[in-house]
Structure 1
């Protein structure tokens, strides 16, 4: 594992059955059988919630167990509603793998409705989540530095700082009122080192599932962690070729906090200032982001593959910068469809890093052998 400092802090690790919310009824929709992969028949049945933890689970079990993934590529975990067929699969599952961190707000209802009583594996166990305001002020500080460089009157600078503080207070109040982020940012997989801890948590949990080959899980874990470590090192080596002041990032929503922390990137802002990709930016928030882009010198706005690019394209046009959308959008909340660059976790992270580096004027180095093929 690489030696850089991460946001990971080992807390007491527990695999709980999960507290469930009392509900009077759960609306069920659809009868399509959920997608599954791996072994079939009498072997263990694993259900995974998101595309990321589904990919991790498949890497770990190989052909030793069937993995049913609830969310489809491009589907938001924030507004997901499991179908009757998916609840049936959950009721039969020997284990349930979840992202955790508050991402699956629908999970407790689904567990109760399905009657699931298997092993619950929380991939976020021991990972300390970033709060709502962990990166607030970074872009504003950058913008203030530009403003101060142009200021000729100390009093004017003081007045401008007070005005900025007032604007930020208003923005924070709006965020608190309109964008409920919950306990913390659940997008932990965007840092490959934290993804390693997620994989370790999943492997530990799967090893306890009756019928699972624990030795095979351990070997697959070792092999996959080596690839994640190579990914982390490759991204770090390429990012470090860019001066820190030029590592500026504008995203579609607040999904890349852990990536930003991992590689010392300055978060200029997001089109949707929320952890929830279903939120909507206000006109004032759009104007403020355009101003920050211009003040910091950011050169690009990144859309996400699972979110409409319209707002990102509008902001990029107003700010006069490049927009990355369509096949050049980032993979945030969801992996891509089969055949796309983002169909796997490793592929999605290589895709994202390559495009971000290119937006900074960097041609990435060749991939290490562990990530080729």
Structure 2
């Protein structure tokens, strides 16, 4: 089957995050706060914020640099507060890789406090963000999906700031679509190629190898999701983190337990009742919790609606990847895990993974 090729969209230039310094802090000797570090072949030091961009960066640099990841497995970026030792790591880094798109609202303060003056790499550059309701077509099916897609570009462009720099209110969970993850990887690779001490040819070769895997992943998801009629591709998740996945594969997002981009928010009683009603009316078969969020509310809603709940080891990987040894320890593994469970909830057994994705 031919890989999907969505209509090209106008891209919005994303402003580089401010990197003004307010003076370096003396922070040695403090705890690492869960940051993870890898190889240090060239003496180049890179800090990555989230688990996803940390994984992308490690795939690109291999043994070329030390990579320090600020957020640990299962840790959401929304309410993160870097420790003193993590600020010290930023201060001494040659490059700082961020998800961007407004996800890390603490980054500007961290950069200023640390005195970082290296290369700032925004993985979201050139990616158009969806707004709050851009994926909200829970009552649509069939041809109406096509009509939604036909007008999506215009609506998204209208929602954005005319200069392309306003991401307030935009959904930052861009990595959930493998095609956008590929663009993130390209952005990171472009930035790393400019960092002194890194071999651009090695970065380029690693980028080619990894994007081939992302292409294969995208095709595998498309082939398997296409087995399910559009009207039956229903999804309920813990919070509003899967917008780009929903749009990429033409799912209907019925609702989320936490009706917000921020996983720290909490649903009201009225919002819970409304979601239970939607689940019953649409025929949703399951509610998906997420690994970085308490499953209690999802379990309660699933119980009230009389449907299955996926939690614990069967929770989706949304805001964060999982610990070493879990399905979600890598971006590729997390996507495979998520898709298998979603397909299972629809009664579909997924096909074998492409050879390039098999371990």
| Bin of the TM-score, shorter chain as denominator length | 0.7 to 0.9
Which of 334, 338, 341 is the equivalent residue of 2:320? 334
Q: Secondary structure at the match of 1:5?
A: coil
Q: Which residue of 2 aligns with 1:139?
A: 138
* Greater Cα radius of gyration, structure 1 or 2: 1
Offset at residue 23 of structure 1 (A)? 8.9
Q: Which residue of 2 aligns with 1:202?
A: 188
Q: Secondary structure at the match of 2:103?
A: coil
Which of 263, 267, 273 is the equivalent residue of 1:287? 273
Cα distance in 2 for partners of 1:46, 1:5 equals 34
Answer whether contact 1:342 1:351 (CA < 8 A) is retained. Answer: yes
- Tell me the TM-score normalized by structure 2: 0.87
Which of 267, 284, 293 is the equivalent residue of 1:298? 284
Offset at residue 183 of structure 1 (A)? 2.9
Cα distance in 2 for partners of 1:198, 1:31 equals 32
For each residue in 1:147-196, what CA deviation from the matched residue of structure 2 results, as whole angstroms up to 9, or x when unmatched? xxxxxxxxxxxxxxxxxxxxxxxxxxxxxxxxxx9330000000000000
For each residue in 1:328-368, what CA deviation from the matched residue of structure 2 results, as whole angstroms up to 9, or x when unmatched? 00000000001000000000000000000010000000001
Q: How many residues align?
A: 331
Structure 1 residues 78, 191: CA separation in 2 closer, same or farther (over 3 Å shift)? same
Map 1:1-373 onto structure 2 (within 5 A): 2-5=3-6, 9-12=10-13, 16=16, 18-19=17-18, 31-33=30-32, 34-39=35-40, 43-136=43-136, 138-141=137-140, 182-373=168-359
- Tell me the TM-score normalized by structure 1: 0.84
Answer whether contact 1:95 1:121 (CA < 8 A) is retained. Answer: yes
For each residue in 1:106-138, what CA deviation from the matched residue of structure 2 results, as whole angstroms up to 9, or x when unmatched? 0000000000011100000000000112123x2
Answer whether contact 2:47 2:93 (CA < 8 A) is retained. Answer: yes
Unaligned 5+ segments in structure 2 are: 145-166
For each residue in 1:314-337, what CA deviation from the matched residue of structure 2 results, as whole angstroms up to 9, or x when unmatched? 000000000000000000000000
For each residue in 1:40-69, what CA deviation from the matched residue of structure 2 results, as whole angstroms up to 9, or x when unmatched? 5x5211100000000000000000111000
Cα distance in 2 for partners of 1:6, 1:220 equals 28
Farther off after superposition, 5-14 or 228-237: 5-14
Calculate the aligned-residue CA RMSD, in Å.
2.4
Cα distance in 2 for partners of 1:71, 1:104 equals 11
Structure with the largest fraction of helix: 1
Unaligned 5+ segments in structure 1 are: 146-180
Q: Secondary structure at the match of 1:139?
A: coil
Offset at residue 32 of structure 1 (A)? 1.8
Cα distance in 2 for partners of 1:266, 1:3 equals 18
Q: Secondary structure at the match of 2:38?
A: strand
